[in-house]
Amino acid sequence: MKKLWRRVGIPALALIIVGAVLAGIGYASGAHGVIYWQNGSFRVVDTPATEKSYDLQAFTDIDISTASSDIELIPSDHYGIDLRYSGDEPEWSVKNGVLRINDKSHNFGFTLNLDFTNYGNFVKVYYPRGTVFGTVKVGGASSDVKLTDVSARELTVKVVSGDVTLQSITAATLSAHTTSGEVTLDGVTADAATLGTVSGGIKTANMALGTLTAKTTSGDIRFSGSLSGAADISAVSGDVRFVCATTGHGYDISTTSGGVRVNGQSQGHKTSAAGTLGTVKIRTTSGDVTYEG
């Protein structure tokens, strides 16, 4: 039996793996469709993507929920959307000032038929520069999200697998989370910001915040900017670098396995000090902490 497995089973398994790799290369080169196993080999049924554009009436709120489309919010000179999809067109509407887009019916199928029909799909939303939204909610299962030049009372981004990029954002409350991916912010102004990722890093630059909460399980956290209130920053496995242009904060910093440096001076594993502004609390289990402010 073992000889039979070595002579037949191992070569067959190798062919399966090679077929899967070649099919994957095809997808990376732009193919779309369904990968399936037939007569001892992987095959691809092509399902070309469709692209459509729509000019829309004005909207004041945005609610987007996708399964596997990348999402972009782009300043422009008009209200509109671009959609790229395989299969059925995502549902969308503008009612009572709310733009809603939903493509959750287009799920990946990791069964004997590996359905990757959403490969390369996207949702792009256009709006006039200077628009101030009420609520912006963006969610995706397997999606990269990029928001540029957005002003809103409340902005929420939640992704299961994908990167979140926010540039030139103004919001009263801001929340950005991904389970597996990077969270990157540049030029964000918010009264309160909550950032999180399980597997990935959090990187910020040119921030102007009231309060900050940032948490990651496996990844580094980088903050650079001004902060007028308190901060709660934690990483299980990762380094934390906090560079604040606003002076006068108190701080409470500790690491279980790593070192702490405050304004260039080594402080061992933990340190604290009072301040006239809010307290910056930083915790990491395995990683170094650098505090400047």
Give 74-102 pLDDT, tens digit per residue: 999 999 999 999 878 999 999 999 999 99
SS in 3 state form for 185-216?
A: EEEEEEEEEEEEEEECCEEEECEEEEEEEEEE
Mean pLDDT, to the nearest integer, of 143-172? 97
| Residue 179, in any domain of the structure | yes
pTM to 2 decimal places: 0.81
β partners of residue 6: none
- Rg (alpha carbons) of the chain, rounded to whole number: 23
Mean pLDDT, to the nearest integer, of 219-235? 97
| Residue 116 pLDDT greater than 50, yes or no | no
| Residue 171, in any domain of the structure | yes
The mean of the pLDDT values for the chain is 86
Give 161-212 pLDDT, tens digit per residue: 999 999 999 999 999 999 999 999 999 999 999 999 999 999 999 999 999 9
Count the Cβ atoms, other than its own, within 10 Å of residue 70. 20
Tell how strand 265-266 and strand 260-262 pair up: antiparallel
Contact by Cβ (8 Å): 204, 223:
yes
Question: What does DSSP assign to residue 6?
Answer: I
| Residue 60, in any domain of the structure | no
Residue 168 and residue 42 share a domain: no
pLDDT over 70 for what percent of the chain?
Answer: 78
Tell how strand 207-218 and strand 183-199 pair up: parallel
Identity (one letter) of the amino acid at 242? Answer: F
Angle at 85 between CA 84 and CA 86, to 5 degrees: 145
Mean pLDDT, to the nearest integer, of 8-18? 53
- Number of separate domains in the chain: 2
Domain residues for 28?
A: 2-46
| Residue 62, in any domain of the structure | no
pLDDT over 90 for what percent of the chain?
Answer: 74
Residue closest to 145 by CA, chosen among 133, 135, 137, 134: 137
| Residue 245 pLDDT greater than 50, yes or no | yes
Least confident of 33-37, 175-179, 189-193, 261-265: 33-37
β partners of residue 221: 202, 240
| Residue 292 pLDDT greater than 80, yes or no | yes
First-to-last alpha carbon distance for the chain, in angstroms, is: 69
| Residue 55, in any domain of the structure | no
Residue 64 is predicted with a pLDDT of 98
| Residue 238, in any domain of the structure | yes
Residue closest to 192 by CA, chosen among 169, 174, 167: 174
| Residue 40 pLDDT greater than 60, yes or no | no
pLDDT band at 112 (very low <50, low <70, confident <90, very high): very low
| Residue 18, in any domain of the structure | yes
| Residue 10 pLDDT greater than 80, yes or no | no
Cα–Cα distance, 290 to 242 (Å, whole number): 6
Cα torsion 181, 186, 188, 192: sign: positive
| Residue 50 pLDDT greater than 60, yes or no | yes
| Residue 274, in any domain of the structure | yes
Angle at 231 between CA 269 and CA 287, to 5 degrees: 30
